[in-house]
Structure 1
């Protein structure tokens, strides 16, 4: 059944052209006919011109991918034999998995499935989601039978937005399939584009679980150092000084405190927790870590307010600048950014808060959060300045020129600036 690789019939369809799907489409498009599909026609039109607003794919990379075609027309997927689903899997307002996009993509793919086709999921899910949630949708939409007429695989994405050294081909890829033959096929497929190599997992569920714990582990480790920051702040100790001293031990893990946002680390643990609770186990460590990290913006805002009060500055009506709106440095991604939480906490004190970020799209920030970015920060204007995101552009800024007076507070949340020129660090 799965003979596309050897028969020359292979045509790949990538569903979703964000941070994960676009680089994948570019790489597969170097080897085989590839259709990149997205429901956002504006995004599709830009990609046809070789423009990627996520800045993950260069203009040269578009030119090197000779067999890729971008479309917003679902009918163009009909001739595909392998479908790779890379749509977002966020959480809802109750912090439960939101599979809306994933199941919609499954229905769309199911409408085009033919005997012998393969569907590979890359979207982050909980263990069992592919076969328990997605496969029934594929069967219902196609009228075909799973593992008799069509097959599935799971190969979790490991894209690190903003990382120009570890692109998709340079990151080792976990692969899996619904049958031994499907697993071999999926592994051979990815082996053609992944220079770093592949790791065949024994089952789809194992591959799903591996992805879930990768980010949950980071989340828990960061929550530990964030909790240390809360403790050391009360003790009057500089957290980074402690961590730098502890890091002289060979096996100390060098995690740093800070905001935990984005579409992976701040989301994936809730998927794992959801599945654990569905089988009767309440995950204490995972959810405890999530609570600590989710509360960090409140800690940051309150630490600034206390420092301003100690300096004799008024709070209500004062002016504060947040440098950075994205969830990480040198990246335009604003999904689940915790900077917004700091903004809301400070405005709740009656402060006037500006956010400046040359990487973020002002239109996207306003559409998503209702906040208007400033085009440039005002000189000699602010009673408080917080470096929230360590964009390269911010590292050379003279933050003192932005301050209203010598009493103004400069808060280096990333601990990357000259400590003699800032009021406090995390």
Structure 2
């Protein structure tokens, strides 16, 4: 990896799945970099050489030259600031820019003329220049665009995916002027081996990021709707998709739950901005409604299958295997498995969650669900394999069935065991 020639002293704000890998990569490239996070336990763990997210090995964390801090005073004397904080949505499905504005408030007192601020968080077009810029200017007394240089470079991190790491995926960069864009390139070029794409404007880069996951959301919504239709026709959706997939240009999407910090959230940033402009985006919101309803559909389908087998529903015990938003990671943000658990509760079913990537104590304390460390053999009236963790794949359907009573229903949401390996699948 090339060594940097940039003289910027960098601070990365937000040390989650995006910020921490970036911090370590910048340090490996030779930058003087500070990783900043407002959560003291996170900083304490990193200073002890451990990533609480479980994405980066203790050896790599311990070996880094990067420093970590939760003290905003340590942001002084930094010349470039990279904001990599979450951009969630509210209960009303509106963008929550609180973390971004909080990061701007932390930065602003320490800005000096010529400072560079790069936003990596997913936002709608206009946020960097129309919201972050004025916030930074108000907090620092400097002029955004002249004394403070703004840039945008959207993250493309995929938790649990070692193949598509930050270094191996082309990265978009954009800035307010050509000189600043060159400066941004000097920061990222030593880190991103796959190369950089220089967008024509910050708004273009913001729009590109927000449609990446919106497109994927709609493709999954389409096959989820196929699944809803085929269930009424008595057809196996995955068999239909397999047959259709023999055509050279058929896209290989599968039905499933759509959660996490990207696909289930980003479309609402675009639709919010569209509605600000007086346009109601019908297709995008229709896709969101379909995907957000799939958890309830799974629970209702299971209840019907139990009733057909004369399994009493009220007080029944159901084992839900997996709670994270995707396989092989510990990220539970916006997990739609929560919808399954909630819907089962409405039917007076006792749902017990098992997820080796999260742990029972965290599931209980952070999510308020009934959780088990080890499922009890022969205890459950039904089992839902909600997430295709490698541990579940390795167990296989026969071993998983031993957790159930005789005749228990096995619902393999992801279709990992084949048609004969389960009673139900999407």
TM-score (normalised: structure 2): 0.96
* CA displacement at 1:361 relative to structure 2: 4.2
The residue number in structure 1 matching 2:247 is 249
1:41-76 CA distance string (max 9 Å, x none): 10101111221121221223225532x001111111
* CA displacement at 1:294 relative to structure 2: 0.2
Structure 1 residues 57-66 or 210-219, which shifts more?
57-66
The residue number in structure 2 matching 1:347 is 345
SS, match of residue 322 in structure 1: strand
The residue number in structure 2 matching 1:233 is 231
SS, match of residue 218 in structure 1: helix
Taking only aligned residues, the RMSD between alpha carbons, in angstroms, comes to 1.2
SS, match of residue 309 in structure 1: helix
The residue number in structure 1 matching 2:144 is 146
* CA displacement at 1:363 relative to structure 2: 4.2
Aligned equivalent of 2:201, options 200, 203, 206: 203
SS, match of residue 175 in structure 2: coil
User: Whole-Å Cα distance in 2 between the matches of residues 260 and 11 of structure 1?
Assistant: 38
User: Whole-Å Cα distance in 1 between the matches of residues 325 and 371 of structure 2?
Assistant: 15
Conserved 8 A contact 1:334-1:365: no
Does 2:84 correspond to 1:86? Answer: yes
The residue number in structure 2 matching 1:161 is 159
Q: Matched residue pairs, number?
A: 419
User: Whole-Å Cα distance in 2 between the matches of residues 191 and 181 of structure 1?
Assistant: 15
SS, match of residue 186 in structure 1: helix
Q: How does 1:261-280 map to 2 (within 5 A)?
A: 261-280=259-278
Does 2:52 correspond to 1:53? Answer: yes
The residue number in structure 2 matching 1:402 is 403
1:201-249 CA distance string (max 9 Å, x none): 0000000000000000000000000000000000000000000111111
Quickly say closer, same or farther: Cα 1:99–1:364, change in 2 above 3 A: farther
The residue number in structure 1 matching 2:192 is 194
Structure 1 residues 84-93 or 56-65, which shifts more?
56-65
Runs of 5+ consecutive residues of structure 2 not aligned to the other structure: none
Q: How does 1:31-46 map to 2 (within 5 A)?
A: 31-46=30-45
Aligned equivalent of 2:387, options 347, 369, 389: 389
Conserved 8 A contact 1:332-1:361: no
The residue number in structure 2 matching 1:359 is 357
User: Whole-Å Cα distance in 1 between the matches of residues 354 and 223 of structure 2?
Assistant: 27
1:266-314 CA distance string (max 9 Å, x none): 0000000000000000001100000000000011001000001111111
User: Whole-Å Cα distance in 2 between the matches of residues 287 and 88 of structure 1?
Assistant: 22
* CA displacement at 1:335 relative to structure 2: 0.4
TM-score (normalised: structure 1): 0.96
Conserved 8 A contact 1:365-1:373: yes
SS, match of residue 180 in structure 2: helix
Does 2:408 correspond to 1:425? Answer: no
Does 2:408 correspond to 1:412? Answer: no
Does 2:133 correspond to 1:125? Answer: no
Aligned equivalent of 2:335, options 330, 337, 347: 337
1:344-402 CA distance string (max 9 Å, x none): 10011011110000001444433432114211111101111010000011113211211
Conserved 8 A contact 2:359-2:373: no
User: Whole-Å Cα distance in 1 between the matches of residues 179 and 207 of structure 2?
Assistant: 21
User: Whole-Å Cα distance in 1 between the matches of residues 365 and 140 of structure 2?
Assistant: 36
Q: How does 1:373-384 map to 2 (within 5 A)?
A: 373-384=371-382
1:80-134 CA distance string (max 9 Å, x none): 1000000111000101000111101111111110011100000110000111111
Does 2:173 correspond to 1:170? Answer: no
SS, match of residue 110 in structure 2: coil
User: Whole-Å Cα distance in 2 between the matches of residues 411 and 248 of structure 1?
Assistant: 27
User: Whole-Å Cα distance in 1 between the matches of residues 370 and 207 of structure 2?
Assistant: 39
